[in-house]
Amino acid sequence: MTQPPSDADIKAGLASAGYICNDRIALTLFLARALEKPVLVEGPPGVGKTELARASAQYFGRDLIRLQCYEGLDEAKALYEWKYGKQLLYTQVLKDKLGELLRGTDNLAEAMERLYQVDDLFYSRRFLEPRPLLQALTAEQGTVLLIDEIDKADQEFESFLLEMLADYQVSIPELGTLQATTRPLVLLTSNNTRELSDALKRRCLHLFIPFPDAELERRILASRVPGIREQLRRQLVAFVQEVRTLDLKKQPAISETIDWARTLVLLHAEALAPELVTDTLNVLLKHEEDIRTVQDQLRQLFSRLFKG
């Protein structure tokens, strides 16, 4: 067996998968693999929580299975469901066979007894429709399981996850307990719309991803928007970092920075100019109020950033 990758390896590996991260994130993945613990990733929207799962799946060479949470998500949609239609169809098609099987029985009790011997067939793995959680547990080569926006799901669902997160197993009444063949790497993300239960937090490593610092953001941009010029990249990151210090309804995240950079590259911009910013600000900011706030302070921002 080969040596498990160290956190430096993971950092480099993620970078090759297009995800530039800091030491803390790399260490998290290292510990998650070594301790076989799920990771709860929190942070403002758009800092790359979901992207982290995608990149680590690519790096570890595993399939990514994604479970998007929403209000009303339940076991049937997350874990498994019986293929009722198929069960019905089979009983219809096999009517003759069943008749044959039951032929020669004298009374009801005997017929029941015979039927009883085959009824497990209809509740076997064949008729089980695996949903994301079950898929992640049964995959042979292991997977990266992303449980996205767990805070959107109901509290009951959160409790339901506990068994799976602690022991990597699930209980299906008809079949018994299923153990994971290869333990999946589980990432849960939360946007903090509500407090998660302590029981859930206790079972996870907790990673908080804040907005990146200027250095990191520049590197992310260089990796994600290859065509961008050095000067524009520096200016753009400085501008975004400065905008984040303003009092805004929704701070621009990395995904917005990347979108903005792509827009500017499309427009063949060489450097930031106030007019250019005014025209394209709606890519960076998603609220009319915020756009107005920034526009009002555009001159000061520019003079502070680029002249001083």
Q: Which amino acid is residue 76, in one-letter code?
A: A
The answer to whether residue 246 forms part of the interface with another protein (CB under 8 A) is no
Nearer to another protein by Cβ, of 199 and 246: the residue is 199
Q: Which of 16, 70, 84, 266 binds another protein (CB under 8 A)?
A: 84
Q: Which of 28, 138, 143, 257 binds another protein (CB under 8 A)?
A: 28
* Interatomic CA distance for residues 214 and 68, integer angstroms: 31
For the chain, count helices (H), then strands (E): 16, 9
Pairing of strands 143-148, 185-190: parallel
Q: Nearest-CA neighbor of 5 among 31, 24, 23, 25?
A: 31
From 81-89, 115-123, 124-132, 297-305, span contacting another protein (CB under 8 A): 81-89
The answer to whether residue 82 forms part of the interface with another protein (CB under 8 A) is yes
Cβ proximity of 97 and 57 under 8 Å = no
> In which element (H, E) is residue 91 found?
helix 84-93
Nearer to another protein by Cβ, of 42 and 256: the residue is 42
The answer to whether residue 50 forms part of the interface with another protein (CB under 8 A) is no
Cβ proximity of 203 and 188 under 8 Å = no
Cβ proximity of 257 and 236 under 8 Å = yes
Nearer to another protein by Cβ, of 43 and 132: the residue is 43
The answer to whether residue 202 forms part of the interface with another protein (CB under 8 A) is yes
Give the 3-state secondary structure of residue 168: coil
**DSSP 8-state secondary structure symbol assigned to residue 139:** -
The answer to whether residue 155 forms part of the interface with another protein (CB under 8 A) is yes
Q: Nearest-CA neighbor of 71 among 147, 153, 191?
A: 153
Nearer to another protein by Cβ, of 92 and 245: the residue is 92
Nearer to another protein by Cβ, of 156 and 279: the residue is 156
Nearest-approach distance from CB 52 to another protein, in angstroms: 14
The answer to whether residue 208 forms part of the interface with another protein (CB under 8 A) is yes
Nearest-approach distance from CB 248 to another protein, in angstroms: 18
What are φ and ψ of residue 151, in 5° steps? -70, -15
The answer to whether residue 201 forms part of the interface with another protein (CB under 8 A) is yes
From 34-42, 59-67, 226-234, 255-263, span contacting another protein (CB under 8 A): 34-42
Q: Which residues contact 298 (CB under 8 A, 6 or more apart)?
A: 274, 277, 278
Nearest-approach distance from CB 202 to another protein, in angstroms: 5
Nearer to another protein by Cβ, of 24 and 292: the residue is 24
The answer to whether residue 37 forms part of the interface with another protein (CB under 8 A) is yes
Q: Which amino acid is residue 112, in one-letter code?
A: M
**One character per residue 104-143, x = contact with another protein (rule: CB under 8 A):** ----------------------------------------
> In which element (H, E) is residue 178 found?
strand 176-179
Q: Which residue has the tokens 């995904």?
A: 255
Cβ proximity of 25 and 209 under 8 Å = yes
Contact set with another protein (CB under 8 A): 7, 23-24, 27-28, 30-31, 34-35, 37, 40, 42, 82, 84, 88, 155, 194-195, 198, 201-208
